[in-house]
Amino acid sequence: MAQQAKTAITPTRDEDYPEWYQQVIKAADLAENSPVRGCMVIKPWGYAIWENIQADLDRRFKETGHKNAYFPLFIPVSYLQKEAEHVDGFAKECAVVTHSRLEADADGKLQPAGKLEEPLIVRPTSETIIGELFAKWIKSYRDLPLLINQWANVVRWEMRTRLFLRTAEFLWQEGHTAHATAEEALGETRQMLEVYADFAENFMAMPVITGEKTAAERFPGADATYAIEAMMQDRKALQAGTSHFLGQNFAKSSGIKYLSAEGKEEFAWTTSWGVSTRLVGGLIMTHSDDDGLVLPPRIAPAHVVIIPFTPKEETRAEVIDYCLDLKQALEAQTYMGAPVKVEFDDRDMRGGEKAWNWIKKGIPVRVEVGPRDIQAGNVMVGRRDRAPKDKQSLGKDKFVGNIASLLDEMQDGMLAKAKKFRKEHTREITTEAEFVEFFTPKNQKEPEIHGGFASMGFCCEPELEDQISKQYKVTVRCIPNASLKEEVACVFTGKPGKRVIFAKSY
Amino acid sequence: MAQQAKTAITPTRDEDYPEWYQQVIKAADLAENSPVRGCMVIKPWGYAIWENIQADLDRRFKETGHKNAYFPLFIPVSYLQKEAEHVDGFAKECAVVTHSRLEADADGKLQPAGKLEEPLIVRPTSETIIGELFAKWIKSYRDLPLLINQWANVVRWEMRTRLFLRTAEFLWQEGHTAHATAEEALGETRQMLEVYADFAENFMAMPVITGEKTAAERFPGADATYAIEAMMQDRKALQAGTSHFLGQNFAKSSGIKYLSAEGKEEFAWTTSWGVSTRLVGGLIMTHSDDDGLVLPPRIAPAHVVIIPFTPKEETRAEVIDYCLDLKQALEAQTYMGAPVKVEFDDRDMRGGEKAWNWIKKGIPVRVEVGPRDIQAGNVMVGRRDRAPKDKQSLGKDKFVGNIASLLDEMQDGMLAKAKKFRKEHTREITTEAEFVEFFTPKNQKEPEIHGGFASMGFCCEPELEDQISKQYKVTVRCIPNASLKEEVACVFTGKPGKRVIFAKSY
């Protein structure tokens, strides 16, 4: 231990991966558990990341013809009950509102009063309530397609929660669309999956596999569920977004009907698709290291922090002025079509302490300015994708002029690194013995990090899938779109199968 | 009736003002009542208005140093109970969550199950839960001021609801800040009131009076409440935003303490301030007319609609091309620092029907293009602030080049018109008889529209205020900041008083 380089986060990934994750969040001040069981508080630095996710996705949704709207937080229990699979999927864990006020009892303690005629649940997802309204809005084929998105909070009463990855309340967007034909609805389902995949790779630098889920992992009430799956640094899969082809199931249970051009009454075909604050969890586990959060420049709330080093009082004013000039010069530069975002950290605190603070927060570029830098017209630059001590002295003007390309280079590097990691931990599996070996920890000290993505043939029989999942805690993450037409013998049964990705997962 | 010009909205404002309001919302497709009692659905055109409100306010909040965060939807009942006045204000109408799942009974009907140890309420406002977290986050004077804002949904179980104005669930922002001194906290309270006032006037073209509330209308738990008050077209006041100086009340009930520079433990001083989707109701009632919604350009989801008139099939392609060229040319123009937003309405529908559709939606500028316009290089322009038939033929290039100044002119005109209206219906009142006369309907057919703002001296005694409110259904809207130092004799008692605004209100 004594020889090891000291890291800002304790424990390291290798020492205790789940605890490392919590400590990265704490050190970056992204979020914390609230006093309300299972509900998190998203703190400003974490929320700013979510705002950037929202802004970029929202633009993509609007470019593909969707409009935002807002639907009620509450869903009458009778609505949920209309779709049989759906209710099975969500009734087990939902917040139930039963009363409309509080009244003090004899001891002055507030008790629920004003019992509702019908209990309401807090939406776990909005297919049923939106279906009810779509049924009202859609009369004729002219009203189709109807392309709606909602940014909202939802609640699922999870028993075991983890910040961002699984919380009782979370923030998300849910797209809901209705179409005249199955083909169109399937096209929409696939289009939105591609929107998610492109966003994950090009905005978050998080490579994903797009593919279809097997029946076992399908959304309750869907005919088909597609997902994007990313590999975390413990080699587990994170389902980072889903897009569902709902067939006519919800159209039939909610009565979404339209009069066709031929004057015939038809049920519509619907889809839904969503991503959530879980993406922030994926972001953390894709890029962060043992010194804390690492943010791809495109998603970072700020790109550059300027830290003044003012050892002597007499040079203090000069250093501050130089920093403010630098800030202005950087903000005049453009990155991704907007001004470069710069923080100037003039807190009353040692410069080194500030630098570590920003390293843990994952800011892409640190610029340190001291009296000697000013004399030389230089700045000392640290990149978050390099070691903390690996800093470079650069001419101020050159640094400013190159900032956008530096950020681009870092973004590209992070995506390449994540892709390389995934490739290194993806294995072609051809026998059950290989499968078992791949998913068995080799090192007793590191039970959390092993395995990866097993690319292999599978017959997709539900009973077998269930058995494997129980025996090995490994599930089919998806049938990748890229190899959809491939026929591969099932590793377990030898029967004709599809190529699938098996992995442990969040 | 036969002689009257036909209007797009039935009834007109004069005929039935409350019903006119509902019909404007329906005709513009802004929102509708949902099947969940008291909860509204905000439809795309209405939600786009809310998005514009959010974007502009959010920029203003960030410019004044605030950061966004997100806090839990649920509040344990015990938290609410900590502040005595606060619980009195909100316990009477709140959604109470008592169970964590649903289970089918013998008849297959789902019933609440998994009773919670402590009931939770859905946040009606977040002072108590945020106070709990502020207490954790704030240790020293270095942590102050803490300037946080949250965009969220809240629930108050209102008995009588009206779209946008009063709904059980609504969307809002709530700012929450903590400061080291009373002066700073009061400064923040007033600053945010001014932010709201400037936003209302310059973005929504809705003039407002800023002032302090009397004790009767204070936020439960506040030391002082300030508000912006706008006059609607029925001359009633709408409280459009509030900013509260909470003193040390919530700091004491939640334990928000800090160590001062002198090493002494002190309670912080807190504020909270909010505006909600109610602003959309204010927008509607400030500007709309008997043909429907009228949108100030700065808040409009789109500025211009282009409507092709294609009477003959052979000129159709030419008209469409001309329209698309025009769209591109308009979008190359800048308004308020961003491209002009243009809709091209190529629906399969008569041009006149389309035009009325957009008039009812309040779009600022309509451009109609037919074969004859093309020959002359012209466009036919209708402005929403003029009569529907008052259209003007303009050279295409000239129209395009002037679009930003036309929109500015319309925005300014709408604010001036609203100010004039308010001035016309504000009366200096010096006797009780005048007061009674002012607030008594003159016309039996129009009971909804009468009175206005009564500017007058008032002693502000709570019993008297309560009596007047019960007898005349008229309340003190505020003690205007503008006349805060004026001493005026009370119209009712002759005692020394403040200048206040009395009005009927929403």
**Per-residue pLDDT tens over the stretch A355-405:** 999 999 999 999 999 999 999 999 999 999 999 999 999 999 999 999 999
Give the pLDDT of residue A83: 84
Residue with tokens 């690319």: A455
CB contact under 8 A, B110 and A100: no
Query: Which of these CATH numbers, 3.30.70.2740, 3.30.930.10, 3.40.50.620, 2.40.160.40, describes B17-287?
Result: 3.30.930.10
Phi, psi of B489 (to 5 degrees): -65, 140
CATH 3.40.250.10 corresponds to the domain B299-420: no
Are B283 and B233 in contact, with CB atoms under 8 Å apart? no
- Chain B hits for A98, CB-CB cut-off 8 Å, are 96-99, 112
Tell me which chain A residue has its CA closest to the CA of residue B51.
A68
Q: In terms of C-beta density within 10 A (0-12 exposed, 13-18 middle, 19 or more buried), how is residue A166 classed?
A: middle
CB contact under 8 A, A41 and B70: yes
- Local confidence band at A490 (pLDDT 50, 70, 90 cut-offs): very high
Three-class SS state of B325? helix
CB contact under 8 A, B94 and A75: no
Which secondary structure element, helix H or strand E, spans residue A188, and what is its range? helix A182-202
Q: What is the mean pLDDT of residues B486-501?
A: 96
* Bridge partner residues of A211 (DSSP): A227, A480
**In the predicted model, what is the mean pLDDT of chain B?**
95
Residue A351 CB: number of other CB atoms within 10 A?
A: 16
Residue A289 DSSP code: B
Residue with tokens 């609440």: B112
Q: What is the CATH number of domain A426-503?
A: 3.30.110.30
Q: What whole-number distance in Å separates Cα of residue A99 and Cα of residue A111?
A: 10
Q: What whole-number distance in Å separates Cα of residue A233 and Cα of residue A207?
A: 12
CB contact under 8 A, B47 and A68: yes
Give the pLDDT of residue B1: 40
Give the pLDDT of residue A3: 47
Please state the pTM of the whole predicted model. 0.97
A394-435 pLDDT, tens per residue?
999 999 999 999 999 999 999 999 999 999 999 999 999 999
Rounded to the nearest 5 percent, the helix, strand and coil shares of chain A are 35, 30, 35
The nearest CA of chain B is from the CA of A166 a distance in Å of 14
The nearest CA of chain B is from the CA of A311 a distance in Å of 21
* Bridge partner residues of B502 (DSSP): B454, B476
The nearest CA of chain A is from the CA of B30 a distance in Å of 10
Tell me which chain A residue has its CA closest to the CA of residue B112.
A96
In the CATH hierarchy, which fold is given to the domain comprising A304-409?
A: Rossmann fold (3.40.50)
- Chain A hits for B110, CB-CB cut-off 8 Å, are 77, 80-81, 87, 91
A2 pLDDT exceeds 70?
A: no
Q: What whole-number distance in Å separates Cα of residue A477 and Cα of residue B320?
A: 48
B401 dihedral zone (left: phi>0; alpha: psi -120 to 50; beta): alpha
Position B300: which residue type? A
CB contact under 8 A, B44 and A148: yes
Q: What whole-number distance in Å separates Cα of residue A97 and Cα of residue B276?
A: 23
By residue count, chain B amounts to: 506
B269-313 pLDDT, tens per residue?
999 999 999 999 999 999 999 999 999 999 999 999 999 998 899
B230 pLDDT exceeds 60?
A: yes
CB contact under 8 A, B122 and A97: yes
Q: Chain-centre distance of CA A310, in angstroms?
A: 40
A151-188 pLDDT, tens per residue?
999 999 988 899 999 999 999 999 999 999 999 999 99
A455-484 pLDDT, tens per residue?
999 999 999 999 999 999 999 999 999 998
Tell me which chain A residue has its CA closest to the CA of residue B72.
A39
The nearest CA of chain B is from the CA of A373 a distance in Å of 29
Residue B217 CB: number of other CB atoms within 10 A?
A: 18
A5 pLDDT exceeds 80?
A: no
Listed by start position, the domains of chain A span: 17-74+125-287, 304-409, 426-503
Q: What is the mean pLDDT of residues B33-62?
A: 97
ipTM field: 0.96
CB contact under 8 A, B47 and A69: yes
The nearest CA of chain B is from the CA of A302 a distance in Å of 13
Are B179 and B144 in contact, with CB atoms under 8 Å apart? yes
Tell me which chain B residue has its CA closest to the CA of residue A102.
B91
Residue A341 DSSP code: P
Test mutation, B32, B102, B122, chain A, max A CBs within 10 A: B102
Token pair of B53, please? 């409100």
CB contact under 8 A, B48 and A40: no
Percent of chain B topping pLDDT 90: 91
Q: Which CATH superfamily is domain A17-74+125-287 in?
A: Bira Bifunctional Protein; Domain 2 (3.30.930.10)
- Chain A hits for B111, CB-CB cut-off 8 Å, are 119
- Local confidence band at B428 (pLDDT 50, 70, 90 cut-offs): very high
Q: What is the mean pLDDT of residues B167-187?
A: 98
What is the dihedral sign for C-alpha B310, B315, B316, B320?
Answer: negative
Between B34, B119, B120, which is nearest A72 by CB? B34
Are A151 and A121 in contact, with CB atoms under 8 Å apart? no
B442 pLDDT exceeds 90?
A: no
The nearest CA of chain B is from the CA of A254 a distance in Å of 13
Between B69, B110, B142, which is nearest A41 by CB? B69
Give the pLDDT of residue B367: 98
- Local confidence band at B82 (pLDDT 50, 70, 90 cut-offs): confident
- Local confidence band at A67 (pLDDT 50, 70, 90 cut-offs): very high
A73 pLDDT exceeds 60?
A: yes
Interior CA angle at A116 toward A114 and A117, to 5°? 130
Q: String of b and e for B279-317 (b: at least 16 CB within 10 Å)?
A: bbbbbbbbbbbbbbbbbbbbbbbbbbbbbbbbeeeebee
Tell me which chain B residue has its CA closest to the CA of residue A154.
B73
B311-370 pLDDT, tens per residue?
899 999 999 999 999 999 999 999 999 999 999 999 988 989 999 999 999 999 999 999
The nearest CA of chain B is from the CA of A22 a distance in Å of 18
